[in-house]
Amino acid sequence: MQLIDRDDPRDKYVQVAASIRAAILSGELQPGDTLPTGDELAQLFGVSRVTIVTAIRELRQEGFVTSGPGQQTKVQEQAALPVAEAHPLAPLASYIFELGFLKNTPRTGWLMLGIPQPESVAEHSFRASAVAVALAVMEGADIGRTVAMDVLHDTAETRISDIASVSRAYLTAARPEAVSAHQTNGMPDEVKETYRDLVAEFEAGQTLEARCARDADKLELLATAREYERQGYDTAEWQQTSLEALRTKSGQWLGQAIMTTSPVWWKAFADSYHEIKREAKSRGK
């Protein structure tokens, strides 16, 4: 567990709860594990026993731990936030609202280039899913499963955000599979298992469908890099790393096409329109 930062303006109990919560989500603390005693936690974090009691109460209300008077505090099997709605599909509805947050979550890597309003995570996932259709067809993979993985591959970023590569050396984030387990808790069994399986399969990258989905993710990044390059930004490094990450033959082939095709997709239509106008004008004479 990460110790609290004395310069952090947040209340100490909030920092303690955040540290324990992160340990649970990252897998450092496993379901069923017993937390150290209150006195031990107070000594570890350098805070009062009251602060620890408040932090544990916060985690218990969130469903991360369970405890009672005179009982040891243990990590829950799955976090189970209280659901205000009585409807049995309320957890699924809440997940749908949560995913809407990705429409306003920028792809932070592009901020490093000074792009003031980069694409959102949701915009990236949409085009990656469209690319996934083509790769699945060309590679003989299951189209639906491949596309579904690209739709869901960045859903954990509602909770851990889109972490730029330069930040990963300094941060320890929960695995997407762990985040997905919490996001889908309370859903009908078949629904939550499907969501979790798709995220886990994408992260493992072992199946043909997962390889196609991961290539589609990189190809969308490559296409965006080409578009930002045309706007005057230096995206050479993004283009190179995207190409190097491609694993399927179809992905590599499509990567070559993206590199040699103009991002100005509408120019041919514009040229054709002007040619038709010139011909019409000539006939009018």
Is the pLDDT score of 206 beyond 60? yes
If pLDDT is split at 50, 70 and 90, which confidence band does 88 have?
confident
- pLDDT for the residue 83: 46
- pLDDT for the residue 119: 95
- pLDDT for the residue 85: 44
What mean pLDDT is predicted for residues 101-126? 94
Phi/psi zone of residue 172: left (φ > 0), alpha (ψ -120 to 50 degrees), beta? beta
- pLDDT for the residue 270: 67
Phi/psi zone of residue 91: left (φ > 0), alpha (ψ -120 to 50 degrees), beta? alpha
Is the pLDDT score of 131 beyond 90? yes
Mean predicted lDDT score pLDDT of the chain: 89
Q: How far apart are CA 51 and CA 11, in angstroms?
A: 9
What would the pLDDT profile of 227-283 be if each residue is shown by its tens digit? 999 999 999 999 999 999 999 999 999 999 999 999 999 877 766 666 666 666 666
Two tokens at 20? 């324990």
If pLDDT is split at 50, 70 and 90, which confidence band does 212 have?
very high
- pLDDT for the residue 139: 98
* CB distance 118 to 107 below 8 Å: yes
Task: Give all domains of the chain, ordered by start, each with its CATH number.
Answer: 12-75 (1.10.10.10), 93-267 (1.10.3210.10)
* CB distance 98 to 92 below 8 Å: no
User: Any idea which residue has 């299951």 for tokens?
Assistant: 142
Q: Quote the Cα angle for 162-163-165, to 5°.
A: 135
- pLDDT for the residue 279: 67
Two tokens at 132? 């996934």
Is the pLDDT score of 219 beyond 50? yes
pTM of the model: 0.71
What is the SS3 assignment for 16-76? HHHHHHHHHHHCCCCCCCECCCHHHHHHHHCCCHHHHHHHHHHHHHHCCEECCCCCCCEEC
The more confident residue out of 268 and 65 is 65
Q: Contacts by 83-91 with C-beta closer than 8 Å and gap 24+? A: 83/186, 88/188, 89/187, 89/188, 90/186, 91/184, 91/185, 91/186, 91/187
Percent with pLDDT over 70 in the chain: 90
Would you list the DSSP string of 167-221?
GTTT-----HHHHHHHHTTTS-HHHHHHHHHHHHHHHH--SHHHHHHHHHHHHHH
Closest CA to 240 of 263, 256, 228, 222: 222
Q: Which one-letter amino acid corresponds to residue 267? A: K
3-state secondary structure of 106: strand
If pLDDT is split at 50, 70 and 90, which confidence band does 199 have?
very high
- pLDDT for the residue 280: 64
What would the pLDDT profile of 135-152 be if each residue is shown by its tens digit? 999 999 999 999 999 999
User: Which residues pair with residue 39 across a beta bridge?
Assistant: none
